[in-house]
Chains A and B, each alone.
Chain A
Amino acid sequence: MPEIKVTPLGAGQDVGRSCILVSIAGKNVMLDCGMHMGYNDDRRFPDFSYITQNGRLTDFLDCVIISHFHLDHCGALPFFSEMVGYDGPIYMTHPTKAICPILLEDYRKITVDKKGETNFFTSQMIKDCMKKVVAVHLHQTVQVDEELEIKAYYAGHVLGAAMFQIKVGCESVVYTGDYNMTPDRHLGAAWIDKCRPDLLITESTYATTIRDSKRCRERDFLKKVHETVERGGKVLIPVFALGRAQELCILLETFWERMNLKAPIYFSTGLTEKANHYYKLFITWTNQKIRKTFVQRNMFEFKHIKAFDRAFADNPGPMVVFATPGMLHAGQSLQIFRKWAGNEKNMVIMPGYCVQGTVGHKILSGQRKLEMEGRQILEVKMQVEYMSFSAHADAKGIMQLIRQAEPRNVLLVHGEAKKMEFLKQKIEQEFHVNCYMPANGETTTIFTNPSIPVDISLGLLKRETAIGPLPDVRKPKLMHGTLIMKDNSFRLVSPEQALKELGLAEHQLRFTCRVHIQDPRKEHETALRVYNHLKGILKDYSVQHLPDGSITVESILIQATAHSEDQGTKVLLVSWTYQDEELGSYLTSLLKKGLPPSTS
C-alpha cells in the first residue's frame, strides 16, 4: 500500500527549530530548516545525521522548502547546506529569498561576534547557501523533477510567508508553515483552495487559544503604552525586525497622530529602514488596503518613529522603544531591558510568543529574579505585559483552514504537546479524520489509496459508451477492454488492438451447454417455440431465427436437435463466447425452466 512518512527533526511537539522530513511516493522533501532560540548548544540545530550518517545530503533529499524568513524556520539553512553539505534546490518565495540572508547574517553576527563562538557558519556560507535558492511565485506550479511538483499559497504570517503543497501523482501533502487566518493591519489572511491533500501538516502554536477580537487587543495595547508614557515611564517592546514590528509601528504611528502625542518612539537596529524598504518593494504581498493606497501614501513611511541610538536609553523622560530580538534572548532588547528593569514606572510589552529558556519566557511565567551571565541577579520591578500580536492562527483559524483544504489526515507540529492533544481530539471529533502529533525523531506513517491513472484509447471509449443505454451517473456500466502495462505506463485499449500490438493470435473460448426439453414435436417446431418464447421475454435484445433453423440472441447461438435415444426429448445446444458469459448463463438458466405450454 502506498504510504507517506513524516518525521519531524524539530517542531515535533515543540516550538522552534522547525524541520520536518516527508517521504511521499519515493520522494524525500525537507520542510523548513530552523534553529531553536532556547538552546545554545548542538540542540539549536536539527540533527541532520538522522538523514544520513555519512555522505552528502543531496543524495537523500529531492528538495528543501522554506516557508518564511523567521529564524526558527530558516536559521539552520547555511549550516545544513554548507557545513553538512546539500547542493539540491531550496525553494522559497521572493520576499523570503530577499530577507532571509539579512536575518541569517544578523544571527551570525550575534553568535560569532558578540558571543565569540567559533565553528559557526560564515558570511560567505550564507551567500553560497542563497545561491542554491530558487524563488517561487504564489500559485506557480514548480516542477522539481518529472514527478514531484510544489505550489505555494499565501500564508499571511509575515511578509512572503507561504504554505506549500507537495504533490507526486495523485498523492499530496500540504505544509502550512506559520499562518494567520485573519487579515491584520499590513498583511492579508492565509488562503488555500479545496485541494484535498492526503495529509495536512499544520502549525499549532495557539492550539487552545481563541483570541478575542483584534480591536480589543489593540485598544488594550495602546492604553497600556499611553498610561506608561503619561506617568513618565519608558516602554520597551521587544520585536523581531520584520513582521510584528511593522504592524505595531503602523498602530502606534496612527495613534500618536490622532492623540497628538509628543513622547518619542524609537526603533532600534539599523535593520529597520532597510526592513521598511522591503515592505515598500514587496507591497503586492501586503493586504488589500495598503496595496490600494500605496501610490498616494506609503504606509511604511513613518513620521513619528525615529532611529534609536544606544545613548538614548539613559535619557530621562518617557519614550517607547522597539528593540530586537523579540524574545529578550540576546542583543539590544536585552541590554535595554537590563537598564530599565529596576524601575517600576517602566513597562515591557511582549507582543509575541517566547520560546522556553529565553528571558522573555522566564519573565512571562512570573519569574522576577533573573540570573544573568556572571551569576549576577537582576531584579525585575518593571511591569511585564503579554499581548499576543504574533500572527499565528488560533484554534478557530486552524479549524477553518482544515475546512478549506479538506485533508484526509492532519498532523500537528510547532506547538506544545499538551495543547496539541486538546486540538487533536477536537479535529478528530469534528472532521472524522486521523490526527497525528509525532515528537521529534518519531515517524508517522500514513497509508494512502491513490487511484491509478490509465490512458484509454478514444476508439474504445466511444465504442463502449455507444453500446446500450445512454450513460447514467447513477448506474454502473460494464466496459470491456484490455489493460496493457508497458514501459511504466498503463493503457486501456480494445482487445483487437492489444492483440495486434502484442502480435498475438486470437483464441476464442466458447462454452456450449445442453438443455433438455420435453417436446415430441419436430426439431424445427421446437426451435420456433424457443424463438417465440425468447422473443417475448428479451424485448431489448436482438433475437433472430435463421434460415438454417438455429436461433441467435445477440451473438449467442441456439440449436435444437433430437435426442438420439428419446424422441420425446429435444436437446438445445446453447453456445457463447467467454465475453458473453453473462448473457449466455442467463439464457441457459432461462431455458432450463422449460417452455410455456404451446398454444398451437
Chain B
Amino acid sequence: FQYCLSGHPTLPCNVLKFKSTTIMLDCGLDMTSTLNFLPLPLVQSPRLSKLPGWVLKDGSTFLDKELKECSGHVFVDSVPEFCLPETELLDLSTVDVILISNYHCMMALPYITEYTGFTGTVYATEPTVQIGRLLMEELVNSIERVPKAQSASMWKNKEVQRLLPAPLKDAVEVSMWRKCYTMPEVNAALSKIQLVGYSQKIELFGAVQVTPLSSGYALGSSNWIIQSHYEKVSYVSGSSLLTTHPQPMDQASLKNSDVLILTGLTQIPTANPDGMVGEFCSNLAMTVRNGGNVLVPCYPSGVIYDLLECLYQYIDSAGLSSVPFYFISPVANSSLEFSQIFAEWLCHNKQTKVYLPEPPFPHAELIQTNKLKHYPSIHGDFSNDFKQPCVVFTGHPSLRFGDVVHFMELWGKSSLNTVIFTEPDFSYLDALAPYQPLAMKCVYCPIDTRLNFIQVSKLLKEVQPLHVVCPEQYTQPPPTQSHRTDLMIDCQPPPMSYHRAEVLTLPYKRRYEKIEIMPDVSNA
C-alpha cells in the first residue's frame, strides 16, 4: 500500500507498507504557505507597518489586526506558518523507518519525529544530513531572530476563511499549519538519523532491503530501492541527468522494478537550465555595469555552488572583477566549507581535483582573492564592508523572512537594481506581492536541474518498470498550459496517480519466497 501525505510533487511525503514494514519516503515541507504572510523585516519597516488592515465588503473590521492589504493582495500579519504532511491518514508512530532522498525533502522531519510518537530510524547520506541541518538552522534562525508579538488565528476559522479573498480562501487545511520548529527539535530529529552510503544494502528486520542510489540532483541526493527477494520498488525522487557538481545518477540499478514511484520532476519543464544560467549572468552583468545592485534570493546550498562556479569563469571576461559578491546567511561559511569536503559525492571532474589535492569548487579561490565574501547576517562586519554596486546572494527565496527582506526594502525603490529569481520553488510574482509597487527590475531565471518529461520517458524506456506510480500533477498537462500534452508522463501501462491523503494499493504479485536448506538435507 502507499499512503500519500503530501500533495506537493517535489516535496513528497509518502508511506509505503511493504512486507509488514512501514516505510516513510521523504518528509518534505510545503513552504508555499508562507507566501500568504507578510515578510518579517530585520529592521523596522515603516512601509510594512503602515499597511492598512483588511476590511470586509460589509465594512466589518474585526480582522484588520490579523490581515493587511498591500496592492490589492491580502496578507496575514503573523509568524509565517508551514503546511505539514497529513498526520491523520495513518498512525505515524507505527512508521518503522524514514528514507530521505535529498536535503530539500527532509524539512518536515522534526514535525514527524518529535510530535507523532515516532520511534524508528531515519536513513540519509552524510551530505544530506549536514546540508539539511544547515537549511534547518537557517530557517529557524531567520524566523526566531524577528520575534513577532502577534500570532493570528481568527482568520483560520472555517466560517471566516470562507469570506476571505483568494488565495487565502482556498488555502487547504489551514488549521493544520504550524509554526517553525526550534533548534533543540532539529537536533533531536537529526540524532535519529543513521548515515548511509550509496549502494549500501540496509536490511530492515530481515524482511526488506533498502539501498540508496546516486540521483545526480544534489550533494548526497539519492533514489531508493526497496526490495525483498522477489519484489522491487524503486523510489525516484529529485533526480538529474545534467552534469553539475553531484555524482551522476545511477540508472542501471533501477532496472527490473515491479513498481517505480516517480516524484520530484522539474517544476519548470519549459526552461532549459543552461540557458537560464546564461541569462542569469548577462542580466547580472548588465545591472552592475549600469551601477545597480543585484539581489539573488537563494538557498544556502545547491544551485548557488554552480552559479558561483559560472561567475568564477565569467567575471573576468565580463569585466566584473572589481564588483564585490556577498553571500549572507547564518550558515554561509559552513555551507561553503562543507561543499569542499564531500569529494566522494561529487562528479568525476571534481573528484579528480581533490586527488591533486585542490579544493573541488572554485569558490575557494573567489574567497581567497576576496571577490566573494560571506557574512552570517547584515548586522556586524557586513555593514562596515558593504560597498555598492554589488551582488548579494541571500535567503529565503520566498522573500518572507531572512536577510533578503532587508535588501528588498532597501533596493526595491530604484529601477537600477535587479532581483534575479533562480530557485524554482516559489512563484516569483507571489513572492514579490507584498513589496509592490516596486521600481526594481525583476528577472525570472528558474534553474531546476531535475528530470524533465523528455528525460523521464527516456528513463522509463531504459529501466522498464512494470508499473509507474506518480503524483496526479504529472498525469495531465500543467493547468496553465493545457495544450502541452508533452508536459506529462507518457508510458505503458499508464501511470497510477495519487493525490494528497489518498491510499493506493500497489500492484505487485509475489510467486516465490526465499528459504535456506541446511547442507545436511542436501546430502541426505
Contact = CB atoms under 8 A, between A and B. Distances in A.
Interface of A: 94, 97-98, 135, 137-142, 170, 274, 277-278, 280-284, 294-295, 449-459, 461, 490-492
Interface in B460-514: 510-514
A338 B264 CA distance: 66
B513 A458 contact: yes
B201 A141 contact: yes
Contacts of A459: 511
A454 B515 contact: yes
A456 B512 contact: yes
A451 B522 CA distance: 9
Contacts of B114: none
A97 B197 contact: no
B2 to A, nearest CB: 22
Given A94-B351, A140-B199, A452-B517, 14 more contacts: A98-B354, A137-B198, A139-B200, A141-B200, A280-B341, A281-B360, A283-B341, A284-B342, A284-B344, A294-B341, A451-B517, A454-B514, A454-B517, A455-B515
Given A137-B199, A138-B197, A284-B126, A277 B516 contact: no
B149 interface: no
Contacts of B343: 94, 98, 281-282
B357 interface: yes
Contacts of B517: 451-454, 490
Given A139-B197, A142-B199, A281-B357, A451 B340 contact: no
Nearest to B230: A455
B516 A141 contact: no
B357 A98 contact: yes
A447 to B, nearest CB: 11
B292 to A, nearest CB: 33
Contacts of B519: 449-452
A135 B344 CA distance: 9
A142 B354 CA distance: 22
A140 B514 contact: no
A140 B198 CA distance: 6
13 contacts: A94-B343, A98-B357, A137-B198, A140-B199, A281-B359, A281-B360, A284-B126, A295-B337, A451-B517, A453-B517, A456-B514, A457-B513, A490-B517
B197 A492 contact: no
Contacts of A294: 337, 341
Interface string B84-126: 0000000000000000000000000000000000000000001
The winner among A142, A295, A461 for most chain B CB atoms within 10 A is A295
B492 to A, nearest CB: 27
A461 B334 CA distance: 55
A282 B341 contact: yes
B199 A461 contact: no
Interface of B: 126, 196-201, 211, 229, 333-334, 337-338, 340-344, 351, 354-355, 357, 359-360, 510-519, 522
Contacts of A449: 519
A275 to B, nearest CB: 9
Nearest to B520: A449
A100 to B, nearest CB: 10
Nearest to B125: A137
Contacts, number: 96
Q: Classify the interface of chain B: helix, strand, loop or mixed.
A: mixed
Listed from nearest, the 6 A-B pairs whose CB atoms lie closest are A137-B197, A451-B516, A98-B355, A455-B512, A139-B200, A140-B199
Nearest to A459: B511
A283 to B, nearest CB: 5
Contacts of B333: 295
Contacts of B518: 451-452
A147 to B, nearest CB: 15
Contacts of A454: 514-517
B173 to A, nearest CB: 39
Nearest to A275: B357
Contacts of A278: 357
Contacts of B510: 458
A328 to B, nearest CB: 28
Contacts of B201: 141
B226 to A, nearest CB: 16
A492 B517 CA distance: 10
B357 A277 contact: yes
B513 A461 contact: yes
The winner among A94, A274, A459, A491 for most chain B CB atoms within 10 A is A94
Nearest to A98: B355
The winner among B196, B229, B510, B519 for most chain A CB atoms within 10 A is B519
A450 B518 CA distance: 8
Contacts of B198: 137, 140
Contacts of B334: 295
A139 B516 contact: no
Contacts of B229: 455
A456 B513 contact: yes
Contacts of B351: 94, 135
A599 to B, nearest CB: 47
Contact of B341 (A97, A140, A284): A284
Contacts of B522: 452
Nearest to B201: A141
B337 A281 contact: no
Contacts of B516: 170, 451-454
Contact of B200 (A97, A98, A140): A140
Contact of B514 (A94, A137, A453): A453
A85 B231 CA distance: 42
Contacts of A142: 199
A104 to B, nearest CB: 13
A457 B512 contact: yes
A516 B514 CA distance: 48
Contacts of B344: 94, 135, 137, 284
Given A97-B355, A295-B333, A456 B342 contact: no
B513 A281 contact: no
The winner among B196, B201, B354, B357 for most chain A CB atoms within 10 A is B357
A409 to B, nearest CB: 17
A456 B515 contact: yes
Contacts of A453: 514-517
Contacts of B338: 295
B199 A281 contact: no
Contacts of B211: 141
A73 B171 CA distance: 64
A294 B336 CA distance: 12
Nearest to A452: B517
A135 B351 CA distance: 10
B361 to A, nearest CB: 11
Contact of A139 (B196, B337, B354, B512): B196
Contacts of B196: 139
A453 B512 CA distance: 12
Contacts of A97: 355
Contacts of B515: 453-456, 461, 492
Nearest to A461: B513
A455 B510 CA distance: 12
Contacts of A490: 517
A546 B331 CA distance: 85
Contacts of A451: 516-519
A373 B75 CA distance: 87
A140 B197 contact: yes
Nearest to A492: B515
A600 to B, nearest CB: 49
